[in-house]
Amino acid sequence: MSLTSKLTSSIGAKAVMAVSGVLLMLFVLGHMLGNLQIFLGPEQLNSYAAHLQGLGPLLWLIRLFLLAVLAAHVLAAIKVWRDSAAARPIPYSHPGSVQTTFAARTMLLSGALVLAFLIWHLVHFTVVNDPALAALKHPEGAEPHHPDVYAMVVAGFSHGGVSLLYILAQILLGLHLSHGAASLFQTLGLRRTGKAPSRVDLFAKAFAGLIVVGNCSIPIAVLLFGLGEDYLFSVLHAQ
């Protein structure tokens, strides 16, 4: 069977969604582990950031790969959504379901909102449209110019609104993962039970919970427990 006809079939589109989902899960996990180094102090986080920046062309290769994976995930989602909508042109007048979940029914919405957050997050933190962060990204003096990522994170999360948006996005991501991380096993034919309880469901809930708790711990630590407050103060006064 040709690869094209396989990929454009209903099962193939879901396989693309599942495989790209696994890769995005690995990215989300790696991203979180990288960020959690904030609890090890400014030197650790900044040297990790400098190490990533030091990858040079390889970093761009990784970025392009991730972009392609994300594009595949979104395109597969659009196909599944369109085909599903076309398959039932007239809806039922009485709603009803037996065992589907809220997370499963809202995958498209949670996914779209996480994507919107991702774009905002990149503009806010990587492209940097926030003047307060821009000064920390390009500190004067030190050669070569290494951004003070630790101070940027603390400054960013010191805004209640930014932290709230971030936490909301993590909860949506957790919702998305709680279905997606289990669903992918069925899509790839690795689940042997149907809906009946499987270790797969436990894995998905644990993974989603880990990501939400891990990622939310940073804004909560900054906002409520004053993580890095003194450091940011000293950096801003040194400038």
Q: Interface with other proteins by CB under 8 A: which residues?
A: 1, 5-6, 9-15, 79-80, 83-84, 86-101, 104-105, 107, 179, 182-183, 185-196
Q: Smallest distance from the beta carbon of 74 to other proteins, in angstroms?
A: 15
- In whole angstroms, the minimum distance from the beta carbon of 202 to other proteins comes to 16
DSSP H or E run through 171: helix 160-187
Minimum distance, C-beta of residue 183 to other proteins, in the bound complex (Å)? 4
Query: Shortest CA distance to 166 belongs to which of 127, 218, 209?
Result: 218
Q: Which of 171, 149, 147 is nearest to 220 (CA)?
A: 171
Q: How far apart are CA 150 and CA 52, in angstroms?
A: 14
Closest approach, Cβ 209 to other proteins, in A, equals: 20
Provide the minimum distance between the beta carbon of 157 and other proteins in the complex, in angstroms, as a whole number: 35
Cβ at position 95, least distance to other proteins in Å: 5
7 vs 221, beta carbon nearer other proteins? 7
Residue 16 CB, shortest distance to other proteins, in Å, is 11
Nearer Cβ to other proteins, position 87 or 238? 87
Q: Give the residue with the Cβ less far from other proteins, 47 or 106.
A: 106
Between 101 and 129, name the residue whose CB sits nearer to other proteins: 101
Q: What are phi and psi of 235, to 5 degrees?
A: -65, -45
CA-to-CA distance for 10 and 178, rounded, in angstroms?
22
Tokens 């040079």 sit on residue = 56
Contacts of residues 45-52 at CB distance under 8 Å and 24 or more positions apart, as own/partner, are 45/149, 45/150, 45/153, 46/146, 46/148, 46/149, 46/150, 49/146, 49/147, 49/149, 50/146
> Toward other proteins, which CB reaches closer, 5 or 126?
5
Residue-wise DSSP of 15-84? HHHHHHHHHHHHHHHHHHHHHGGGGG-HHHHHHHHHHHHTTTHHHHHHHHHHHHHHHHHHHHHHHHHHHH
